[in-house]
Amino acid sequence: MTGDAAETAMSLGRLSYAQSLRAIGESLERRGISTFDLEKWGENYRLQVLAGQPATGSSFLKKIAQLLGRTDNSAREPSDSTVPSRILSYTPSDIARLVTEQQSRHGGLNVMPDAHKLAQVLRVLGDHLDRKEADAFTVSVSGDSLSVAYETGRGIQQESFTIENLYDHAVKMYLRRSKRLEKVN
């Protein structure tokens, strides 16, 4: 997608799951977050950072709030330090900003990305969800495993993946995007 087409799609709120999840994945990589539950209902994404996840800096959620430009209650640090998890929310405008930042960093290069990076794993999963025409979904990522439950017009489906077996999906997606394969299932 060209820069103008991407900006138009973002302004109309029509980002694919692949684009959205890649942007969220890059954001999480920069923060060192790798174990979480993510859910998509309606237009928003809600991410729960699971217990035991290291937080860098003195106030993890304050840094997130600053980066997202938020000062509302959802971005405040929990008052109880024993809270086992933290919640992050991503609105369509947050995702659009992250996608724009990601596109400016990558400059439209069409190279096979590192299939083991969280951003790429989530991008491949997003492509899978786009192709399944999912309406809503939840994703759990822990270590090298990932599980997803998604709703389509045909009902609720559940799948589990390892980072390794998502590699085949990544290769097919890359070949499809680079038009090296006319049809890849």
State pLDDT tens for residues 50-98.
Answer: 865 444 443 444 443 444 444 333 333 333 344 456 899 999 999 999 9
9 pLDDT more than 60: no
112 pLDDT more than 90: no
- On whether the pTM is more than 0.95, the answer is no
Closest CA to 74 of 53, 45, 52, 100: 45
The one-letter amino acid code at 70 reads R
Count other Cβ atoms within 10 Å, centred on residue 57: 8
Q: Which two tokens stand for residue 164?
A: 């390794």
Of 78-92, 124-138, 161-175, which gets the smallest average pLDDT? 78-92
16 pLDDT more than 80: yes
Confidence of residue 170 (pLDDT cuts 50, 70, 90): confident
- Please count the CA atoms within 13 angstroms of the CA of 120 that sit on its side-chain side: 19
What confidence score (pLDDT) does residue 37 get? 96
